[in-house]
Structure 1
């Protein structure tokens, strides 16, 4: 088992190195900082809505952090879980601060403080998933290496103006976590909340890409980037609700297995209904 774990890390490292060799460098485009909504609406805050729309990150981050330690409100059984969720909620709260700071004056220097806490949140989520779905010991041991990998991806971008490592840190979890949530048996109930969190994050990325189009479509009321912040903040909201509601599953089944059983039962129910209707229609009503 231990050899298999090392094999996974070696394969992941080899894949990363190969991708770095075969893919071209991705510099930070300066037009990224040219957001649609640059209005100063009140209190002299530049880019007002893009700045204040980060407040939900700070609020949910602080709430989640407090509940982690308030008489173990989330019923975290494993020490690794407590470490992982603590880092996650700290990262989320710092996103609220760092992203607000960036949007006051968007440029490469301030963008660092936007991306750094996001990377912390992403890497901690991966470690949490390993703890819950694969192995507690492996997941706990991966918290620090993943955290360091995230920091290194930011440093690589700063010094080499290359976004490839950061892109992997950000987007690989977006693919791997929903797949793991569907295919691997969870330790707790309410596993579907992971998928809702992923859906809102995906929606946020679409809104980010359509920043100017949405701003135009809403007659310059709200931009896609502002909506992106609000949708992305729903990700930690759903995960916080999941933590508050979930309980341990004695008989662990993946979401895929649950869906397959539900689909089979639905098909069986439909089949029985058809049989009953056929039997009913065959009755002779003549007197």
Structure 2
């Protein structure tokens, strides 16, 4: 590990320690378990919040199979294979963990809801490090990041403090879109990362507006159910990206690509504005 990596880890750890020292603990609110839609169909409690997790199982299994079936995704690096395998395992496990939680929501079951999501989050961060920063560092970071996620959940459960878990969940939400925009990609179709991030953001909005959405839809569907469906679109877009992408011959970041496109648009606009017409006089012959 070079000096720059050591400094980065030291700074990150110091920032975490300072954050934990200066911020108050965030206990798990019991109101979180009081979801808007608590209807029961076919003997299944909270039916829609349970069955809306099924897409996670489908896309998780599809992605997991394609990761290993004749290398359909054409993953070139071993670290990528491990990272995407962990990601799709986490996605598929969300279906079981979240369904188990929503059958009878409480803190004990919430652990199994959050654990697979944390596996997916941390795997994505490792994948980004592999693709955008350094293959070796990203591969080595897979296990530490997964452990950090597990520890954050254990810390919450034992000390009733959500701060470490909040970092694990929300830091990737900021870091991944920024890295997708600013860092040169190894592969094409980088825009799919932003589509995935957009759907995840929409899912969080729907989660926060669980009861208002349930009211606005005249008790047809709640925000939390829609949150599950939108969140499932994240692995859908990432699976499509993996299926379509190829090696990027010119590694140019999205930001630089947008900047070049914007410059060309401005140049074209300036050419149109500077365009001038020259009029010539045409003699008119008078008739007697």
In structure 1, the residue matched to 2:2 is: 2
Q: How far apart are residue 285 of structure 1 and its match?
A: 7.1
TM-score computed with the length of structure 1 as normaliser: 0.96
**Deviations 1:80-135 (CA, angstroms, capped at 9, x unpaired):** 00000000000000001110111111111110100000000000000000000100
Q: How far apart are residue 286 of structure 1 and its match?
A: 5.9
Structure 1 runs (4+) deviating above 4 angstroms are 284-287
Secondary structure at the aligned position of 2:76 is classed as coil
Superposed, 1:87-98 pairs within 5 Å as 87-98=86-97
1:121 and 2:117 correspond: no
CA gap of 1:28–1:266, structure 2 versus 1, over 3 A, is same
- Structure 2 Cα separation of the partners of residues 222 and 94 of structure 1: 24
In structure 2, the residue matched to 1:243 is: 242
Decide which of 263, 276, 283 is 2:279's aligned counterpart.
283
Uncovered stretches (5+) of structure 2, i.e. residues with no partner = 284-288
- Structure 2 Cα separation of the partners of residues 286 and 50 of structure 1: 79
In structure 2, the residue matched to 1:194 is: 193
In structure 2, the residue matched to 1:62 is: 61
Superposed, 1:18-29 pairs within 5 Å as 18-29=18-29
TM-score computed with the length of structure 2 as normaliser: 0.96
Aligned residues: 283
- Structure 2 Cα separation of the partners of residues 153 and 269 of structure 1: 52
Secondary structure at the aligned position of 1:44 is classed as coil
Superposed, 1:2-81 pairs within 5 Å as 2-41=2-41, 43-81=42-80
- Structure 2 Cα separation of the partners of residues 285 and 210 of structure 1: 69
- Structure 2 Cα separation of the partners of residues 247 and 272 of structure 1: 36
Q: How far apart are residue 243 of structure 1 and its match?
A: 0.5
Secondary structure at the aligned position of 1:265 is classed as helix
In structure 2, the residue matched to 1:155 is: 154
**Deviations 1:113-169 (CA, angstroms, capped at 9, x unpaired):** 000000000000000000001000000000000010000001001100100000000
Q: How far apart are residue 268 of structure 1 and its match?
A: 1.3
- Structure 2 Cα separation of the partners of residues 240 and 176 of structure 1: 20
In structure 1, the residue matched to 2:286 is: none
CA gap of 1:285–1:6, structure 2 versus 1, over 3 A, is farther
